[in-house]
Amino acid sequence: MTSITITGDNMIKLPKILLSALMLISIAHAKGYFVNHDDICEGTETHKCTNDYSTVRNLQIALNRDKKLKVSLKADGKWGEKTKEAVIAFQKKHKLSPADGWVGKATKIKLDKIARKIKFPKDKQVKHVALMKTKKNYTCYSSFRKCVNLRKSYKVFKDNKLLAKANGRNTHLKIDVSEQRVKLLVNGKVALDAPCTTGAKRKLEPNTRTYRDKHTPLGTYRIMEKIAAKKSTIFGEMYRHGKKVYHGDRRKYRGPKAKYVGHTMHNWMRLTSGGIGLHASKYVKRYPGSNGCVRLQPKIARVIFKKVRRGTKVSVVN
């Protein structure tokens, strides 16, 4: 049997070693549960989240324990609309941007802060991975309307067979302000239903510092012009001596005289002589927020642009 002799020097070193080990352990635990797990999300056409059972279950537990929220989610490990809505409410309460229901880095850090004292159940592997079906094939438009919260969801309905029949003469666009959605009808039937963003009722005008009503006017219109790449008269860059000095709303620019170059608005479809139209934008939200135009997701804008023509009827309803 081998004996170990601890000298005075070793007795001094031992507490230091233990302290270092404890610090490493505490740092590992300080990282929290959620930051050590994958993002949780509904998913997009280019990105999918795994939404594994244990992570979603513990997310639901953490949301239920947040005193700033008044939610009572079933901790079943299934990602769905109720859990996503609770995440959006959590992000808004804690001023996390964007409040889109995507549990990313900033949201996970905040979750770990409120979940410090929560002892989560041990992670377990299950055969069933609860994914929200982002590309569910709905048999018809009525089932899509029945299953999807149109006011809040980013889901898109497409009837490819009906879209193939669109020729510009048999199409009709319908923009619903209350649902913040755009519908492309072909021969009177919905071939496409997608989220959009219409004008805000109260929008700050930078050059006057006053709020003005910028809502998209209701009514029936005809597409007056189609331009694949139109330059914006409001948003763009300011250049001095060939160097970019500002990016954004030109009305907010307060620097010395500079040359303005407008952003390109892809798939522009004009509705009024006053500058209201539809165009592609990456800033499509689930609430009115534009200066009056109708923002469309880029892929949706491309489809609609191809399927309509000058003179196509456009109805803006509430």
Q: pLDDT (tens digit, 9 = 90+) per residue, 150-187? A: 988 999 999 999 999 999 899 999 999 999 999 999 99
CB 224 within 8 A of CB 309: no
Query: Which helix (H) or strand (E) segment is 234 a member of?
Result: strand 225-240
Strand-pairing partners, residue 219, are 316
274-286 residue pLDDT tens: 889 999 998 899 9
Most confident of 16-25, 48-57, 306-315: 306-315
- Give me the pLDDT at residue 137, please: 64
pLDDT over 90 percentage in the chain: 49
| Single-letter residue type at 310 | R
103-132 residue pLDDT tens: 999 999 999 998 888 989 888 765 544 444
Residue 312: pLDDT band with limits 50, 70, 90: very high
pTM of the model: 0.56
Question: Which domains are delineated in the chain?
Answer: 34-114 (1.10.101.10), 141-317 (2.40.440.10)
Average pLDDT, the chain: 84
Residue 7 pLDDT exceeds 80: no
Half-sphere exposure of 292 (CA within 13 A, CB side): 15
Residue 260 pLDDT exceeds 70: yes
Residue 293 pLDDT exceeds 80: yes
CB 193 within 8 A of CB 181: yes
Task: Please give, one letter per residue, the 3-state secondary structure of 112-156.
Answer: HHHCCCCCCCCCCCCCCCCCCCCCCCCCCHHHHHHHCCCCCCCCC
- Average pLDDT, integer, range 15-26: 47
213 or 6, which is more confident: 213
- Give me the pLDDT at residue 208, please: 62
- Give me the pLDDT at residue 140, please: 86
- Average pLDDT, integer, range 229-255: 87
CB 90 within 8 A of CB 69: yes
Residue 14 pLDDT exceeds 50: no
Residue 134: pLDDT band with limits 50, 70, 90: very low
Cα–Cα distance measured from residue 111 to residue 128, given in angstroms and rounded to the nearest whole number? 25
